[in-house]
A and B are shown apart, each in its own frame.
Chain A
Amino acid sequence: MTFDYVAPGSVAEACDLLERGGPDAHALAGGTALMLLYKQGLLRPEKVVGLSRLAELRGVRRLAGGGLWLGAMTTHRAIEAHPDVAGFSPALAKAFASVATIRIRNQATIGGNLAHADPAQDPPPMLIAFDAEVEIAHGAAKRALPLGELFRDVFETALSPGELIVGIRLPPLPTGARATYLKFLPRTEDDYATVSVAARVAVAEDGRCSDARVCLGSVGSTPVRSQAVERALVGQPLTDRVLAEAAALVVGDIDPFDDVRGTASYKRRMAEVCTRRALAEIAAPMAH
C-alpha cells in the first residue's frame, strides 16, 4: 500500500532511480498532485524519488537575447512574484497566479504541473503560446521538447522512465508582441477553468498581424493550440470583424468533454467567446 522514498543529491542519480523503478517510480516535487492521486487510490507508486535536494532546479533566470528560464522545482508562487517573469510578460505572471490558491501555489512546482499533464491547468496553454520548450534530463543526457509535444493525453506525457523535467525555456518575444491569459470561471475563483485561452499576438508597423499563437485549456485531453485561429489572424488588420471571424474557427480545433464544469457544447460556445475576448483584449491598445 505504501512506497519507498529516496531523495537523491543529483539529477543524474534521480534519473537513475526513476529508470530502475520503471513505471511504478514517480518523482515528487511539491506533492500536491502526487499525494492527491495517492490518497485517492489513483496512483500506487512503489518508489517515490524526492527532488527537494536538487537546488539547481529552483529559480528564474533571464536568458541572453531576452528569453526566460524557469527551473522545474520553482513554485508557482515564486514564478508569479518574480520580477523577471512580469518583465518578460505580465500575462505569464497572471497565468501562474490564476492557479488555485496561494497555499497551493506555495507548494506546487512548474515541473510537477507539467509532468501531471492535467489539461485543465493554467500555465501550460500560456507557456505553449510563448513557444516554450521543456528541458528533459536522462542521466547525463539532455533533450529539449516543444511543450506542446510533451502532453499525450489526460495525465500522460511523452516522458520515458528515467526522464526528468529539469526546466522550461522560453525564447525571446517577437517584436511588437502582446499576450493575455483569460480564464473562464463560472463557479468559484479557485476552481479549474471551464475554458481558458492563452494568446500572444504581434502587430507589424503596417498594423497587420505578423505573428499569432492561440492555445486553450480545458477543451480536450491536452492543451490545444488552434492553428486555424492563428492562420486567420496573420496578415490581417486586427479589426473586430477579423477577430470575431478568427475566433469562430477555434471550434474546429477543440474536442471538449462533459464534466462538472460544463457540457461539451457549452465549452465549445464559450471557447469561441473567450477566444474573441482574449484577442480583443490584446488588440485594443494596438489600435492606435
Chain B
Amino acid sequence: MSTHRIRFTLNGRAVEREVPADRLLLDLLREDLTLTGTKEGCGIGVCGLCSVLVDDEVLSACLLPAVLVDGRSVVTIEGLADRPGGTALQDAFITHGGFQCGICTPGQLISASALLAASPRAEEAEVREWMKGNLCRCTGYYGILRAIAAARPAAGADR
C-alpha cells in the first residue's frame, strides 16, 4: 500500500498530511483531523450527510479518496460561517425549522450554501432539484425549503 503527502486548504487554512492511498476524505476529516461536523450516513453517496465543498462544488466525502483533494480547497460545516451568507443561512434554518434531530443538517447547510453561491435568486424548483440529494427523515423538507428561500441574498427582509 502506498502513502501520499497531500497539501490542501481546509476551511481557509493550509493542511499537509500523509495519507494511505485508500483514505477517504470523510475519514481524513473525522478521524485524522477531528472535524466531526461532517457526518457519515449511507456511505454510498446517496444520503448527502457527508456533503463538503471542494473548490466550491458539493461532493460526497464518503466516496472521495483524500489523494484527490491534493492542491484543492475544502470547506466543511466548520468553515461555513466564514462563507458569504453562511451565518444568515444557519440563522434561517433555526428560524424556519429546517431541522429536528440534526444529523443531516451539516450536509443540508453545505449544499444550500453552494446553491446560493451558484444561484443567489434560485426559485423553489431549482432549490428542490439541487437539494434532492440531501435526505432528511424528520422535517418533511418544508422547513428546509422555507429556510433556503429566506436565506437568499435577495430575500433581505426575511432574514
Contact = CB atoms under 8 A, between A and B. Distances in A.
B21 A103 contact: no
Contacts of A35: 24, 63-65
Contacts of B43: 39
A3 B68 CA distance: 15
B1 to A, nearest CB: 4
B65 A102 contact: no
Given A36-B44, A36-B45, A104-B45, A31 B22 contact: no
Contacts of B65: 5, 28, 31, 35
B44 A107 contact: no
Contacts of A50: 67-68
A227 interface: no
Contacts of B60: 32, 103-104, 107
Interface in B14-30: 20-22, 24
B37 to A, nearest CB: 17
A101 B128 CA distance: 11
Interface string A54-97: 00000000000000000000000100000000000000000000
Task: State the main secondary structure of chain B at its contact with A.
Answer: mixed
Contacts of B2: 3-6
Contacts, number: 78
B51 A103 contact: yes
Contact of A106 (B4, B58, B129): B58
B63 A52 contact: no
Interface in A37-57: 38-40, 48, 50, 52
A104 B133 contact: yes
Contacts of B90: none
Task: State the main secondary structure of chain A at its contact with B.
Answer: mixed
Contacts of B67: 5, 7, 50
B21 A107 contact: no
A106 B57 contact: yes
A100 interface: yes
A288 to B, nearest CB: 30
Contact of B20 (A2, A36, A189): A2
B46 interface: yes
A74 B22 CA distance: 23
A190 interface: yes
A35 B68 CA distance: 12
A2 B1 CA distance: 6
Contacts of B22: 2-3, 5, 38
A208 B59 CA distance: 47
6 contacts: A3-B1, A3-B2, A3-B22, A4-B2, A50-B68, A52-B68
